A = this chain, B = another copy of it.
Amino acid sequence: MGVIVQKFGGTSVADMERIKNVAQRVIKTYDRGNDVVVILSAMAGVTDGLIELARQASETPDKREMDVLLATGEQTTVALLSMALRSLGYSATSLLGFQVDVLTNKQPMSARIISVGGDRIRDLLTRKHIVVVAGFQGCDSDGNITTLGRGGSDTSAVAVAAAINADACEIYTDVDGIYTADPNICTSARKLSHVSYDEMLEMASLGARVLQIRSVEFAKKYNVPVHVRSSFNEEEGTMVVKENSEMERLVISGVTCDKNQRRITLKKVPDQPGISAKIFSPIADAKILVDMIIQNTRSGGETDLTFTVAKADFDEALSITRQVAGDIGATEVLTAESIAKISVIGVGMKNHSGVAAAMFSALADENINIRLISTSEIRISCMIEEKYAELAVRVLHSAFNLDKETA
């Protein structure tokens, strides 16, 4: 018995039959004596339909008004689920973002949650209501409706769980947990019973399909235990929790692959103080995120400078770089189309030396060249030719003893 937050995504509420299934699932939890808060997304496809409608109204729809429009999606599902629950004899009340005081910053279509008011939810729970909260939406300090961007309902769920000090935040989705690698690439990938917040954050390319990364940041900040599990079966999924000594002692928890990056190289950049700022300031000004940066010193006071950006930002970043290259006297701008970033991630590597060596040697054994390397405390990433991406994932998965047989 406790306070449980359950979040169901768009595919789980895609039609009335599925909404009724969600009602049954919620009731089962409630009937065990729990207080239940449900967070819903819009029906699958509805958000895309609304975006299409907006494009008919305007080629570049105003973002504030887009948020007003998009917020109708979750408003619809929370009303329908509450009706379904009530028709089954349960007290249920829907609440929209502004009614829960989900206060966000003023960035329409990708707002960040500042705070969530728990009073109204707690009051309804005290009266044994099932509370059904519209995910994805909030309200800024001027009283405008805002939305949180794709996957924002995950963040809504975690933020509500934090606000009411819930015992668990269950994220129901169409996969049944977090895997050691993408099972589509690596058939021997296995489901993790636990993963730490930090690992989950580093597993962006695995996790983003399952959890909005911002929700993990929120969970970490407020120490909310998140249970990622399937909405189609009753199996335990993966617990995303604070790192602790009880956790499974794997050196590496996962191998990820990110093909969404492209590389840009500036040849023969003068090696002067402030030159990096000249290159990266205009890129940052264009709100383009640079992922990896490597500088190779050449003879004669010149260096080659290589960095990567997301594919979507590539054209803009390239045009800015060419401009800057002329200004600073770099001789050439090179690009590489087909690269992939392979990462091994694990809190265990903090206490184990030799992870990098093991990684490089496993790749070398397959004659896979490493073009760039970057690291964090719990992650090592290598940029390699894209065509070797799947092979590299399988090789590393095996090299770090993650294959099913060894678990």
A interface residues, how many (CB within 8 angstroms):
40
A314 at the interface (CB under 8 A from B): no
Contact assessment for A57 and B75 in the assembled complex, using a CB-CB cutoff below 8 Å = no
Interface residues of A in 36-70 (CB under 8 A from B): 50, 53-54, 56-62, 64-66, 68-69
Contact assessment for B57 and A68 in the assembled complex, using a CB-CB cutoff below 8 Å = no
A79 at the interface (CB under 8 A from B): yes
Q: Which listed residue, B19, B65, B143, touches A57 by the CB 8 Å rule?
A: B19
Contact assessment for A69 and B80 in the assembled complex, using a CB-CB cutoff below 8 Å = yes
Contact assessment for A66 and B79 in the assembled complex, using a CB-CB cutoff below 8 Å = yes
A103 at the interface (CB under 8 A from B): no
Given the known interface contacts A16-B56, A19-B57, the answer about A75 and B68 at a Cβ–Cβ threshold of 8 Å is: yes
Complex: A87 Cα to B60 Cα, angstroms: 7
Contact assessment for B78 and A94 in the assembled complex, using a CB-CB cutoff below 8 Å = no
Contact assessment for B83 and A57 in the assembled complex, using a CB-CB cutoff below 8 Å = yes
Contact assessment for A62 and B83 in the assembled complex, using a CB-CB cutoff below 8 Å = yes
Closest-by-CB residue of B relative to A20 is B57
A82 at the interface (CB under 8 A from B): yes
Contact assessment for B61 and A83 in the assembled complex, using a CB-CB cutoff below 8 Å = yes
Contact assessment for B75 and A71 in the assembled complex, using a CB-CB cutoff below 8 Å = yes
Residue from A80, A84, A145 whose CB has the most chain B CB atoms within 10 Å: A80
Complex: A145 Cα to B98 Cα, angstroms: 11
A21 to chain B minimum Cβ distance, whole angstroms, is 13
Contact assessment for A82 and B94 in the assembled complex, using a CB-CB cutoff below 8 Å = no
A99 at the interface (CB under 8 A from B): yes
Q: Which listed residue, B53, B86, B96, touches A80 by the CB 8 Å rule?
A: B53
Complex: A142 Cα to B94 Cα, angstroms: 13
A72 at the interface (CB under 8 A from B): yes
Which residues of the other chain, B, contact A84 by a CB distance below 8 angstroms?
A: 57-58
Contact assessment for A65 and B86 in the assembled complex, using a CB-CB cutoff below 8 Å = yes
A401 at the interface (CB under 8 A from B): no
A215 at the interface (CB under 8 A from B): no
Contact assessment for A58 and B86 in the assembled complex, using a CB-CB cutoff below 8 Å = yes
Which residues of the other chain, B, contact A83 by a CB distance below 8 angstroms?
A: 54, 57-58, 61-62, 65-66, 69
Which residues of the other chain, B, contact A94 by a CB distance below 8 angstroms?
A: 65, 68
Contact assessment for A68 and B54 in the assembled complex, using a CB-CB cutoff below 8 Å = no
Residue from A20, A60, A64 whose CB has the most chain B CB atoms within 10 Å: A64
Interface residues of A in 112-168 (CB under 8 A from B): 120, 143, 145
Closest-by-CB residue of B relative to A88 is B58
Contact assessment for A69 and B75 in the assembled complex, using a CB-CB cutoff below 8 Å = yes
Closest-by-CB residue of B relative to A145 is B96
Given the known interface contacts A16-B53, A53-B16, the answer about A62 and B82 at a Cβ–Cβ threshold of 8 Å is: yes
A238 at the interface (CB under 8 A from B): no
Residue from A58, A61, A79 whose CB has the most chain B CB atoms within 10 Å: A79
List the 3 closest A-B pairs by CB distance, nearest first: A58-B87, A69-B79, A72-B72
Query: Given A53-B80, A54-B80, list of 17 further CB < 8 A pairs?
Result: A16-B56, A16-B57, A20-B57, A50-B76, A53-B76, A57-B81, A58-B83, A58-B84, A59-B87, A65-B79, A66-B83, A68-B75, A68-B78, A68-B94, A69-B76, A72-B75, A98-B98
9 intermolecular pairs with C-beta atoms under 8 Å apart:
A50-B76, A57-B80, A57-B87, A59-B87, A62-B87, A64-B93, A68-B75, A68-B79, A69-B75
